[in-house]
Amino acid sequence: MDNSTSTKVISIFIPHEGCPHDCVFCNQKKISGSVKSPDIKDIEEHIETALTTLDNNSYNIVLAFYGGSFTAIKREKQIEYLRVAKYYKDRKSINSIRLSTRPDYMKDEHVSLLKEYNVDHVELGIQSTHPKVLKLSKRYYSIYTINQAVMNLSKYNIDFGFQIMIGLPGDNRQRLINTCFELAALQPNTLRIYPTLVIVNTELQEMYKNMEYTPLTLLEARELSIIPYIIFKNLGSNIIRVGLHASESLLLDDNIVAGPFHSAFGEMVQSSIYWAMIKSAIVRYRLQNKNITIIANARDFSKITGNKGENRVLIKDYFNVEYKFQKNDSLKDDIIIQYENYDYLLRMKEYYNDIINQLTNEWHCKNIMN
Ligand code: SF4
């Protein structure tokens, strides 16, 4: 199977199973749309049904246990789940096994069990590394615990990724930058970025009602999400999600009380990056009041134009510039702005480096001042 093979995930949700914690933002039972953990027969049926439509010669098939803190479940129960997963992996019906958990349940005994059952990838729900943010979110671990978890996973050669949240109680831009740089040093293979939402029946809902917590606006969440997006993209991490997955039950039940939810949030973050790149190029190359051509990979056209054409409107309103597209599928993320006989190549990687330099300076300045 080559790297271009697309991935299909068979997800098994294990809502709140075994989790003794009460993070202020969490109501796993609602998020997963189910209150009962699946039993082994349910899991087998689910996998068999999924496999009837998936050919593992055509797809990279991942079996994923999501929703709770897997390694906090009773060991016997973990073994039951892992045995099923390993059975399908040994038969080569699936290609890999992944699961999510917390960093404080990644001690040697937890990781060695996962290794025994050939788990390939562990996603650690980090959320933040800042002590105040973690405390206010009722997550009682530290960067030391996170480092230990990563050391144990590396010792057993298990691939890992992180989940982080934007806009938790007590969080701010500086603390987010700090979280990102601390975590980037650990070089995760994957990253998920979730803006904090106020969900019904959570402590955060109470805090919101009592005006102890103010959620980010959509615009603030977008601007902040760019920080981890660029830092980890530049690192080579695979950013597998930006924004909460809009499970139908979540939306239908009106479970979101407040917060920066948008079904196209991830694409909006990428559009903001294109807007910033194009804006600075128009100024640098004095393209105001001109009609330009943007040459890009066709798959990036909608990100460049933005949700409901917002970037097209901004470019027109700010600079009186109109553009048409020209397709060049050999470009990957980079774009070319063409005006008359001039081609201006805007390299995404260079833009990332500029932003990372700015963030590094901001981080150092704040650390020196504090
Ligand atoms: S976020 Fe994870 S650790 Fe926290 S209460 Fe929910 S399931 Fe438990």
Cα 218 to Cα 234: distance, rounded to the nearest angstrom:
24
If one compares 68 and 193, the residue with the highest pLDDT of the two is 193
**Are 106 and 175 members of one domain?**
yes
Provide the percentage of residues in the chain whose pLDDT is more than 70. Answer: 92
**Res. 51: pLDDT tops 80:** yes
Beta bridge partners of residue 311, listed in sequence order:
none
Answer yes or no: is pLDDT of 251 > 70: no
Residue range 365-370: mean pLDDT, rounded = 61
CATH classification of the domain holding 298: 3.30.2320
Distance 245 CA to ligand 1 centre (A): 17
Residue 22 Cβ < 6 Å to ligand 1: yes
Q: What is the pLDDT of residue 135?
A: 97
Total number of domains in the chain = 2
Question: Which has the closest alpha carbon to 13: 1, 174, 36, 135?
Answer: 36
Q: What is the Cα–Cα distance from 141 to 146, expressed in whole angstroms?
A: 8
pLDDT category at 32 given cuts 50, 70, 90 is: very low
Cβ atoms of 188 and 180 within 8 Å: the answer is: no
pLDDT for 299 beyond 90: yes
Does residue 363 lie in a domain region? Answer: no
Task: State how far the Cα of 319 lies from the Cα of 298, in Å rounded to an integer.
Answer: 24
Same domain for 187 and 215: yes
Tell me: do 293 and 249 sit in the same domain. Answer: no
Can you point out the beta strands (E) in the chain? 7-13, 60-66, 96-101, 121-127, 159-166, 190-195, 198-199, 238-242, 256-258, 291-296, 322-327, 335-339, 342-346
pLDDT tens per residue across span 105-141? 999 999 999 999 999 999 999 999 999 999 999 999 9
Q: How much is the average pLDDT of 277-281?
A: 97
* 118 in a structural domain: yes
Which residue in this structure is represented by tokens 């068979």?
10
Of 48-57, 300-309, 339-348, which range is least confident? 48-57
CA distance linking residue 39 with residue 241, whole number of Å = 28
Nearest-Å Rg of the Cα atoms of the chain is 22
In terms of domains, do 327 and 227 share one?
Answer: no
- Weakest mean pLDDT among 17-21, 168-172, 239-243: 17-21
pLDDT of residue 248: 45
* Minimum CA distance residue for ligand 1 atom 7: 68
| Cβ(167)–Cβ(216) below 8 Å | yes
Do residues 330 and 195 share a domain?
A: no
Mean per-residue pLDDT of the chain? 92
Q: Tell me whether residue 86 is in a domain.
A: yes
Task: Examine the fold and report which residue of 248, 263, 278 is the final residue of a domain before the chain moves on.
Answer: 263
Residue among 32, 34, 102, 133 whose CB has most ligand 1 atoms within 8 A, to mutate: 102
Residue nearest to atom 6 of ligand 1 (CA): 26
Domain span at residue 206 reads 7-263
The answer on 303 and 230 residing in a single domain is: no
pLDDT band at 254 (very low <50, low <70, confident <90, very high): confident
pLDDT score for 13: 85
Domain boundary (199, 233, 263) is at 263
Q: Give yes or no: residues 295 and 169 share one domain.
A: no
Is 151 inside any structural domain? yes
Regarding whether 241 and 145 lie in a shared domain, the answer is: yes
At a CB cut-off of 8 Å and minimum separation 6, what does 102 contact?
Answer: 21, 69, 71, 72, 124, 125, 139, 141
Q: Say yes or no: 42 and 189 in one domain.
A: yes
Residue 19 beta carbon below 6 angstroms from any ligand 1 atom: yes
Q: Are 144 and 124 in contact (CB under 8 A)?
A: no
The predicted pLDDT at position 364 comes to: 82
- Structural domain contains residue 334: yes
CATH code for the domain in which residue 157 is found: 3.20.20.70
215 shares its domain with 162: yes
| CB half-sphere exposure, 252, CA atoms < 13 A | 5
267: exposed, middle or buried (Cβ count in 10 Å: 0-12, 13-18, 19+) = middle
The Å distance, Cα 199 to ligand 1 centre, comes to: 13
Contact 181, 231 (CB under 8 A): yes
29 phi, psi to nearest 5 deg = -60, -40
Phi, psi of 307 (to 5 degrees): -60, 125
367 within a domain of the structure (yes/no): no
Residue 253 confidence (pLDDT) above 80: no
249 and 275 assigned to the same domain = no
- Both tokens of 291, joined, read 């009609």
pLDDT at res. 2: 53
Cβ of 363: how many Cβ atoms within 10 Å? 15
Task: Read off the tokens for 4.
Answer: 């271009």
Q: What is the pLDDT of residue 142?
A: 97
Range of lowest pLDDT (24-33, 156-165, 302-311, 316-325): 24-33
- CB of 21 within 6 A of ligand 1: the answer is yes
Residue 234: predicted pLDDT: 96
Which residue among 263, 293, 326 closes a domain? 263
Would you say residue 183 lies in a domain? yes
Q: Which atom of ligand 1 lies closest to the CA of 68?
A: 7
* Domain match, 278 and 259 both: no
**Is residue 362 included in any domain, yes or no?**
no
Instruction: Count the neighbouring beta carbons within 10 Å of the beta carbon of residue 258.
Output: 17
